[in-house]
Structure 1
């Protein structure tokens, strides 16, 4: 069966289709001098865009550097080929624990989506950045920079799936030229290990540290490509948007001058708990890797640094992935580690540990649908209650919180997701209910909590994507806005202008007002003759409030 990562990757592969011609390189490429090294890149067929791909920004995290904080790359030297993407970081491809008795329609939806993989494969030696810039950009240009962080459930993904040329080309058409940067970061067990050993070693959230080092690389070198290091906007989707939010709340909210704005699609500070919550998964991983005898001390990392990449891959794939029955209750996620996060992410928001920069954030209307396919064997109230208590609202005295959420998210298909589709798409008695709950637990409620917590403290804009409602079973599903913004489309225009001027408004589209408590306006993307409108962020108020209260008391 095709997995949910396959479904998402198939969607992302479409991002390259519409602009493949623009990526055909010329026979000779542009060059950039970095330190004592000379990068040779490639140029789009139009001649308007230069691409410098696969540039190492850190020492390869292999051998003794596996399970260590990233270290800055040595100064560049000699001739460097920057014409192809570097490999993605080691991917998790687990498909364990998918029930064989899931709903046949859910199975059909999964099977109908073809898989796609990152270009160039994956490797542990993967910490590279890509820079796509107008061909006429010079060090004196000082163009705004957008820094893309990909999604993938902190398990998979890579920069090669996204055609940043589209963004730069559209910026030229809008007369607001920008420089596009994308970064590879470690994922899954080698990027987000959990457990007491990880805390003791001080190596939690390695993938977030990778991103941070990538941002430092931008500060040091982006002017060579025509970018302005003082005008960086960090941008991401799903796990990438959660990463953007994580960069906002670390370090007491001090950006260190690494970015001036943020743009988040389907991701906010995650309602996760302490790093010890990842212990069961780390124990499985270390045991399958042959290092069980070292568990309980940091000596386990000495063992893990001496096994092969294939052993690491197989051990990672022995743990539940996003395609498993657990779905969005992920094994490898950002958690409080005492270093990158001094407290649980949502508690940091409560404490005001947030970078006071302008930001855009938004969601798809039906965030939870694709994550409610592999658990579609849940068909009764009791089964759903037990599922939530085991994986999402966990811990002592959580029963009342679970029951309150279920009370506010009834099994009435007309109130479930895909929303606004009446009794349609109810492939099981509980499918639309579960989809509504999971979408709000991980995506919608954390966004609203984040925005309300920052009310009056910084400029905010919010959006809601309701395009694709006619998609059977999944509606306006998670990730569907990514193909919109990389289209390009109206959402691309808003992104470019926000990166360039910290205001998404301009000659195209409708006026997008800032989000305030008095007027929580959502730029709403629709199908049909009226593609854009404004709506209010007032849907499912009681339900999301109950979820936020449950998450603060019982983190994922």
Structure 2
């Protein structure tokens, strides 16, 4: 069966926001429900299976009307007795699916949509029940009975979703918190909503001129500032914060390392002290006002009917009803589409908070120097190569990458890059697979290329930049092969495979308990080996370029030397390979 009606499909996947009924919060306080007093109000939480949760706490004013696209404004109202027992709202989502080809015959099979939807669920969570433009909220979870003064370390989570999706509810910290208690390493878990899609990452000259670029990154930073101001009242220690993200969340974590030229202080103190990146590191990008950014902005204002307006296109966009703005903002390609990882919306250098491409900032030393963990899934690209058509020759791949990705590279450079990848089916992704078939010619080769240039080999390049320019810094890296399954999987250990392992898995399973243990050791001691016992000593990456290799039934070490020709080419030509 073929699908051609993309708008109807997406509309069916995205529920409409509804209003939250008022609650009698005073009665809840009087009933003895857990509550915490902070400067902005009394935050009333709930308790479930040994975990106390405080959900949906506003940290900024509503980013609506004239504040749409702008940097967040710190909360200016008093919350009074605030009911934080409800499931929080999600920020509106950006384009996710389609177009599925660069011709008018845009088609996709139900099977392809199913794989893409499964991966997106892993990285962004279930489709939220409620969306609202007023979505800048933060959640705090802790072991039951923790009080102010406990000084527990804080794990600050930033969700993924391709900078067009994601929300906090699917990434509940209760299983992680229970593991911390089990390992005698209790901690506070915090998750933050940030704007995505056109709301959080609108590009273009107008946004650049106004100084409003990368609103979503600024939301995350304000969430960290909220933690610095308030987490002690929940029992957390603002001097022991580790930030953690996956996919777009991991790219965001790296961006937080280089934001404001590496200045991660607030009121004279460091906002975070360690960083964990699952499937995402430095992403080389062109400026907000470059050709790609301009093209996205132009497409949005044309769809919105805001082009050539006397009052200006930005003012016009801000005055649109949110439904009308969403229709325009989401008319550009989604993450699961023919252009794929050539994302419409993502952090781009803006000359204000992100002053250069993240890789360049790290090389210049404009980098917040903290210990880091970075890792990849073995088959990062298989889910993002579903909707291309016939990549069976070097010429077709070169044309595709030149058109959608590497606008600054010469055809000769792109050709040389593509030539570093074998055209043998067995050498593509899923790697080590015994299934020597493809959805279309060249599918496994383009899957390897896409996975490497955004995630896996960019991870190795980022580690090399840190090792060469910041040799005093501690770094660890891993590769996950949870779903190798004897080489019989059509997608392998795809992007997002680790999220169910960390958040929903049972501690009876080796990947779950070992992964959680390494991370909690890092949270407590900024060293994954120091603390609770681990099965394999994990050496720093700079000590021989060894990866911790997660497998379904055992962990081991593996040399980080695969696809060396492709890696060396990317490293030497990174300034021409910006998205």
Q: TM-score normalised to the size of structure 1?
A: 0.90
Instruction: Say whether the 8 Å CA contact 2:391–2:397 is kept in structure 1.
Output: yes
Q: CA offsets, 1:216-255, max 9 Å, x none? A: 0000000011000010000000000000000001222222
Shift of 1:469: 1.6
Instruction: Say whether the 8 Å CA contact 1:28–1:42 is kept in structure 2.
Output: no
1:473 counterpart residue number? 490
Distance (whole Å) between structure 1 residues aligned to residue 78 and residue 113 of structure 2:
50
Q: 1:263 aligns with which of 256, 262, 276?
A: 276
What is the SS of the residue equivalent to 2:308?
helix
Distance (whole Å) between structure 2 residues aligned to residue 461 and residue 33 of structure 1:
38
Q: CA offsets, 1:321-344, max 9 Å, x none? A: 102210000011111100111111
Q: CA offsets, 1:128-168, max 9 Å, x none? A: 00000112211110000000000000001100111211111
Q: CA offsets, 1:166-211, max 9 Å, x none? A: 1111111110011000000000111001111111000110000000
Instruction: Say whether the 8 Å CA contact 2:521–2:532 is kept in structure 1.
Output: no
Check if 1:552 corresponds to 2:561.
no
Check if 1:464 corresponds to 2:479.
yes
1:417 counterpart residue number? 429
Check if 1:38 corresponds to 2:46.
no
Instruction: Say whether the 8 Å CA contact 2:433–2:489 is kept in structure 1.
Output: no
Instruction: Say whether the 8 Å CA contact 1:151–1:157 is kept in structure 2.
Output: yes
What is the SS of the residue equivalent to 1:292?
coil
How many residues align? The count is 530
Instruction: Say whether the 8 Å CA contact 1:53–1:84 is kept in structure 2.
Output: yes
What is the SS of the residue equivalent to 1:64?
helix
Shift of 1:507: 3.7
Check if 1:434 corresponds to 2:446.
yes
Q: How does 1:376-525 map to 2 (within 5 A)?
A: 376-395=389-408, 398-455=410-467, 456-470=471-485, 472-486=489-503, 487-488=505-506, 489=512, 490-505=514-529, 506-525=531-550
CA separation of 1:352 and 1:381: change in aligned 2, threshold 3 A: same
Shift of 1:76: 3.2
* Uncovered stretches (5+) of structure 1, i.e. residues with no partner: 11-24
* Uncovered stretches (5+) of structure 2, i.e. residues with no partner: 14-27, 507-511
Q: 1:57 aligns with which of 56, 59, 62?
A: 59
Shift of 1:122: 1.4
Shift of 1:117: 4.0
Distance (whole Å) between structure 2 residues aligned to residue 394 and residue 302 of structure 1:
30
Q: 1:154 aligns with which of 163, 170, 184?
A: 163
Instruction: Say whether the 8 Å CA contact 1:393–1:551 is kept in structure 2.
Output: no
Q: 1:533 aligns with which of 545, 553, 556?
A: 556
Shift of 1:515: 2.3
Distance (whole Å) between structure 2 residues aligned to residue 460 and residue 330 of structure 1:
28
Q: CA offsets, 1:436-487, max 9 Å, x none? A: 0000000112211111111123011111101102363210000001111112
Instruction: Say whether the 8 Å CA contact 1:118–1:160 is kept in structure 2.
Output: no
What is the SS of the residue equivalent to 1:427?
coil
Distance (whole Å) between structure 2 residues aligned to residue 302 and residue 109 of structure 1:
39
What is the SS of the residue equivalent to 1:538?
coil
Shift of 1:102: 6.5
1:359 counterpart residue number? 372
Shift of 1:429: 2.6
Shift of 1:215: 0.3
Q: Which one is further off, 435-444 or 377-386?
A: 377-386
CA separation of 1:444 and 1:94: change in aligned 2, threshold 3 A: closer
CA separation of 1:388 and 1:360: change in aligned 2, threshold 3 A: same
Check if 1:248 corresponds to 2:260.
no
1:18 counterpart residue number? none
Instruction: Say whether the 8 Å CA contact 1:401–1:546 is kept in structure 2.
Output: no
Shift of 1:305: 1.4
Shift of 1:94: 4.5
Q: Which one is further off, 541-550 or 174-183?
A: 541-550
Q: TM-score normalised to the size of structure 2?
A: 0.87
Distance (whole Å) between structure 1 residues aligned to residue 381 and residue 406 of structure 2:
16
CA separation of 1:537 and 1:394: change in aligned 2, threshold 3 A: same
CA separation of 1:75 and 1:225: change in aligned 2, threshold 3 A: farther
1:288 counterpart residue number? 303
Instruction: Say whether the 8 Å CA contact 2:546–2:558 is kept in structure 1.
Output: yes
